[in-house]
Amino acid sequence: MSNTQKSIVGGMTVLSIVGLICKIVGALYRIPLAWLIGDEGMGTYQLVFPTYNMLLTISSAGLPVAISRMVSFSLAKDDPRNARRIFRMALCMLAALGFISMLLMIVMSPSLAVRSGDVSTQPGFVAIAPALLLVCIMSALRGFMQGQQNMVPTAISQLIEQVGKVFVALPLAWWGMRVSVAYAAAGVLLGTSIAEGAALIYMLHVYRKQKKQFDLREQNAEEPPMGSKMLLQRLLSLSIPITLGACIVPIAGFIDSGLLLNRLVDAGIERAAALGLYGRYSGYVLTLINVPTALATAIAMSLVPSISGAMAKGDGHHIRRQSALGLRLAFVVGLPCSVGMSMLSRQCLDLIYHFNTPEALQTTANLLSISSMTIVLFTVVQATSGILQGLRKQRIPMYTLMVGVAVKVFLNYTLIGMPQINIYGAPIASLTCYTLSMLPNLYFVYKYTGMKPEWMNVFGKPAAATLLMAAVLWCAVRILPESGLWTLIEIGIAVAAYAGAAVLVGAITKEDLAPFLRRFGRGRALKKGE
């Protein structure tokens, strides 16, 4: 395996493992949270998050990717001087954007609460506002580290964020519940701000430790220093299309946060019941869907600096190899997650969450069963977007996602308002959105990398392994009794069956397993040394 392939798989390994841990902790964290604040509290909590995500994406989505790409590109040319100047300029820009976003959310919190359809959300908007500034500063540090293809600080800071929420947000939710449901939701959101502050302190500590080592890098005397104006132009030309593309989904979520609730009421559902239904869909279903998508984010984050570095060297061969690897890993990860979660939707929900009625459990399970099929689509969209961003074609994923989200909003408005469809329109709209984005992305990846369409390796083998896993899981579900312990055993059977089938059909190769084996070998060596 080449060094560039190792960097992708190794970086993805670190981010994936920690990302999965974070998502699992986040999903488990919803169990006591739901007990504390109930469906109505979850609905209030979820009404605030889309606005936060939208402002956070607008202020911080594009620049970290631009930092990662430009730092990686400069270091590939042995030019740490320009890499350092890129980081400093972007850090100032992100801090300013984060501060403005924080102020906007605080000042506009009364209007945002009215717009969400529930005025009791105002304390929540104020509580989570500081996180906008904290995450913006932290994202600059993450982009700088990722540009050096060092994914560990990003992974650990994500873990601090998630664990911090558990230890801070839950006590604040309990305290807030003594006042009202609205203050309980606000307590959870304040816990998010505090956890982000803890993660930022860690990133600043790592940056200070690694700064001395970075300053020792040798400078290529033939590389001239870039002017501030040129640096700013490059940062903006890279970050603006990425920001616009990244904003599309959060903006759609912002629209949906008011649209879904109102359209459910239009479909004839009482407002309290509609808020609970929206809370279960956005708080339970989407939370579980987001667990495996951590792998998609890891793939994309590893691909961008790696492909950008290969472009700096003019190495088309490595670009094609890395792109093919990224696509294959996207299907290797996405297909079994989609099928497995769809088949075990009811069991997973019953294991993790508490439902007041069997009907509520069944409705949520049906939503999860449909929604889980978006995992593979989203994973491939993320991978193709990372490849195209690394190739300096960042406008393409922006346009394709824009079309998909426009259709999604239209379908949400149309389908959810129909009494016979209501909330089921939301996952149908999401499936359509990511399909419309994925197909053209794949076309342009093959066009601009010059790869040959090897669909058997990229899609066929992962699909065959997934079918074998599905057959084994189908038998296990029908043979084993229904209970929490047996659900965990069924998940273990599915993972083992897919791993064995993937190795058997060649979906996963020895080269893919090398980073895992290497890390395992190091761990054993350390233990022996002790």
- Residue by residue, DSSP assigns 64-82 as HHHHHHHHHHHHHTT-HHH
Q: How far is CA 217 from the centre of its chain?
A: 32
* Cα 276 off chain centre by: 25
Higher pLDDT, 47 or 396: 396
In angstroms, how far is CA 503 from the centroid of its own chain? 27
The angle subtended at Cα 23 by Cα 466 and Cα 340, nearest 5°, is: 20
- Kindly state whether residues 157 and 277 are assigned to the same domain: yes
Asked whether residue 345 carries a pLDDT value surpassing 80, the answer given is yes
Give CA–CA dist 215/238, Å, rounded. 26
- pLDDT above 70 (res 12): no
Q: What is the pLDDT of residues 188-216, one digit of tens each?
A: 899 989 999 999 999 999 998 888 888 87
Q: Which residue would you say has higher pLDDT here, 521 or 60?
A: 60
Given 453, 486, 516, the domain boundary residue is 453
Task: Compute the CA torsion angle 56, 61, 63, 69 (nearest 10 deg).
Answer: 160
CB 170 within 8 A of CB 184: no
Question: Bigger pLDDT: 209 or 44?
Answer: 209
Q: Which domain holds residue 506?
A: 455-530
From CA 393, how far away is CA 270, in angstroms rounded?
A: 47
Q: What is the pLDDT of residue 305?
A: 64
Q: Could you give the CA distance from residue 202 to residue 79 in angstroms, rounded to a whole number?
A: 27
Phi/psi of residue 509, nearest 5 degrees: -110, 170
Q: Please check whether residue 194 is in contact with residue 164, taking contact to mean a CB–CB distance below 8 angstroms.
A: yes
The domain boundary residue, chosen from 396, 423, 453: 453
515 in the same domain as 432 = no
Please determine, for residue 34, whether its predicted confidence score (pLDDT) is greater than 80: no
Check whether residue 390 and residue 528 sit in a common domain.
no
Boundary-marking domain end, from 420, 453, 486:
453
Average confidence (pLDDT) over 495-516: 80
Residues 526 and 429 in one domain: no
Are 407 and 495 contained in the same domain?
no
Q: Answer whether residue 518 shows pLDDT above 60.
A: no
Report residue 302 as tokens.
Answer: 């590893």
Instruction: DSSP letter for 355, please.
Output: -
d(CA 431, CA 415): 13
Residues 400 and 515 in one domain: no
As a whole number of angstroms, the distance between CA 284 and CA 110 comes to: 27
What's the pLDDT score for residue 524?
Answer: 46
**405 and 468 inside one domain:** no
C-alpha radius of gyration, the chain, whole number? 23
For residue 294, the model assigns a pLDDT of 66
Query: Which pTM was predicted?
Result: 0.67
Q: Measuring CA to CA, which residue among 97, 364, 121, 77 is closest to residue 226?
A: 77
Residues 395 and 525 reside in one and the same domain: no
pLDDT in tens, 456-475: 888 999 999 999 999 999 99
Q: Which of 349-353, 461-465, 481-485 is predicted least confidently?
A: 481-485
Are 381 and 515 in the same domain?
A: no
Q: Which long-range contacts (CB under 8 A, 24 or more apart) does 517-520 make?
A: 519/13
For the chain, how many residues are written?
530
Query: What is the average pLDDT score of the chain?
Result: 82
Number of domains in the chain: 2
Residues 436 and 482 in one domain: no
The pLDDT of residue 516: 46
- Among 136, 134, 159, 138, residue whose Cα is nearest residue 14: 159
My answer on whether 238 and 344 are in the same domain is: yes
Is the same domain home to 329 and 292? yes
Q: CA-CA distance, 137 to 204, in Å (whole number)?
A: 10
Q: What is the pLDDT of residue 369?
A: 94
